[in-house]
């Protein structure tokens, strides 16, 4: 990174980074690979969301109103999308604790990093639990990947595929965070002389999961 | 504390972004109480893009990376816009042919139960 200070920025920097006989990206290789993985994951989720758009446009059956289907009654009122809103806030909270964990990692504050990562994982687990509750509720009401009593069958297919794939990412993220958090706690990264960039790489994955939820929330639940 | 390597930024940036995400999510949720229409769609997309930009540029530190990495990662997803355009075009065509050949839907949805 010390030589990067001497290098040009802007578009001249792009030409320089790609054309010169050197490593293209001035970041740790793990971070570059995580970004490239996330790019491929972006395309996977985009394909899901685009296919959802396609089946929603092309079906002649009425599309159910998500704010009713996912509504809950609280204190005697019908609140639309209540559980989904809570899930959104849980995920945002976990994103904040993760960002702080990355920062504390670079400050070499192992204890704070560990506990912030554990908090992030706990919030992620809470999110998945609420999603399991949502799935159970819809399945008991007769929604299946191939049928849906409230409207177009494609609603069920899209719902289970998109939220299922996202939930799987959250679950994988919780496991990933706990493994890294444990290694932060027992001093593994201290011993191998790492600069705690591994926490930032795990953080990239976690923020991506939150990012995907932003799009799912807008397109599937609100639109 | 300050290190030449890695992404080191004042904590304040994260707190501001965190609060902004809460507020924007609140706005997103509030669109659900609006009447359907172009204005609601506009708000849904605006809050979605603002939240996404905040997460990518601040929380994922993309704003502080070199332009080469920004272009390599954020450039390719633009191609998805072409896919969206093609598939919506195709979708409306499929809907038209379905109505033409099978007639309008006769499906009667059940009322959504109160929970």
Single out the residue of A5, A104, A207, A36 nearest to residue B57, CA to CA.
A207
Rounded (5°) CA angle A98-A104-A110: 105
**pLDDT, one tens digit for every residue, chain A (223 residues):** 455 556 777 888 888 888 888 888 888 889 999 999 999 999 999 999 999 999 999 999 989 988 888 887 777 777 888 889 999 999 999 999 999 999 998 888 889 999 999 999 999 999 999 999 999 999 998 899 998 898 899 999 999 999 999 999 999 999 999 999 999 998 888 888 777 889 999 999 999 999 999 999 999 999 8
The tokens describing B74, both together, are: 């954020």
Contact indicator for B39, B46 with CB cutoff of 8 Å? no
CATH number at residue A126: 1.20.120.80
The per-residue pLDDT for A6 is 65
Tell me if A22 is assigned to some domain.
no
Number of structural domains chain A divides into: 1
Helices A29-58 and A153-185 cross at an angle (nearest 10°) of 170
Tell me if A15 is assigned to some domain.
no
Q: Return the percent helix, strand and coil in chain A, to nearest 5.
A: 75, 5, 20
Tell me if A52 is assigned to some domain.
yes
Quote the minimal CA–CA distance from B87 to chain A in Å: 6
Number of A–B residue contacts, CB under 8 Å: 192
Helices A82-106 and A197-216 cross at an angle (nearest 10°) of 160
Report yes or no: B34 at the A interface, CB cutoff 8 Å.
no
Tell me if A181 is assigned to some domain.
yes
Chain B 43-102, residues with CB within 8 Å of chain A CB atoms: 44-45, 47-48, 51-52, 55-56, 58-61, 65-69, 71-73, 76-77, 80, 83-84, 87-88, 90-92, 94-95, 98-99, 102
Q: Which residues of A touch B95 (CB under 8 A)?
A: 57-60
Tell me if A107 is assigned to some domain.
yes
Contact indicator for B60, A208 with CB cutoff of 8 Å? yes
Q: Which domain covers residue A165, as residue numbers?
A: 28-222
Answer yes or no: is the ipTM higher than 0.85.
Answer: yes
Cβ–Cβ below 8 Å for A57 and B72: no
- DSSP helix/strand/coil, A147: strand
Q: Which of A14, A53, A208 sits opposite B68 (nearest CB)?
A: A14
Residue B2 has pLDDT above 60, yes or no: no
Give the H or E element holding residue A77. Answer: strand A77-79
The Cα A130–Cα A134 span in angstroms is 6
Q: Tens digit of pLDDT for each residue in A7-22?
A: 777 888 888 888 888 8
Residue B114 has pLDDT above 90, yes or no: no
């Amino acid at each position: 990174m010390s030589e990067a200070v001497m290098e040009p920025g802007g578009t001249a920097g792009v030409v320089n980074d790609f054309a010169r006989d050197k490593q293209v990206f001035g970041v740790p290789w793990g971070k570059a690979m995580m970004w490239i993985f996330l790019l491929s994951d972006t395309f996977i989720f985009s394909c899901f969301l685009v296919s959802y758009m396609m089946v929603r446009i092309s079906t002649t059956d009425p599309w159910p109103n998500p704010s009713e289907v996912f509504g809950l009654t609280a204190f005697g009122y019908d609140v639309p999308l209540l559980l989904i809103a809570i899930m959104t806030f849980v995920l945002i909270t976990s994103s904040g604790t993760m960002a702080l964990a990355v920062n504390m990692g670079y400050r070499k504050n192992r204890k704070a990093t560990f506990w912030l990562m554990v908090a992030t994982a706990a919030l992620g687990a809470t999110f998945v639990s609420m999603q399991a509750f949502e799935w159970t509720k819809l399945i008991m009401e007769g929604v299946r990947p191939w049928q849906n009593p409230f409207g177009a069958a494609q609603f069920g297919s899209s719902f289970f595929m998109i939220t299922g794939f996202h939930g799987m990412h959250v679950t994988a993220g919780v496991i990933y965070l706990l493994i890294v958090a444990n290694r932060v706690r027992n001093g593994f990264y201290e011993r191998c002389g790492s600069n705690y960039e591994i926490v930032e790489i795990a953080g990239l994955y976690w923020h991506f999961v939150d990012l995907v939820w932003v799009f799912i929330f807008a397109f599937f639940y609100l639109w | 504390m300050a290190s030449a390597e890695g992404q080191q930024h004042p904590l304040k940036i994260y707190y501001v972004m965190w609060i902004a995400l809460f507020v924007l999510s609140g706005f997103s949720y509030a669109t659900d109480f609006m009447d359907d229409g172009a204005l609601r769609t506009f708000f849904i997309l605006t809050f979605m893009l603002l939240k996404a930009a905040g997460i990518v540029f601040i929380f994922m530190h993309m704003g502080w990376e070199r332009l080469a990495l920004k272009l390599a990662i954020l450039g390719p997803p633009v191609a998805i816009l072409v896919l969206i355009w093609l598939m919506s075009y195709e979708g409306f065509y499929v809907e038209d042919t379905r109505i033409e050949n099978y007639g309008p839907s006769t499906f009667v949805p059940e009322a959504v139960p109160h929970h």
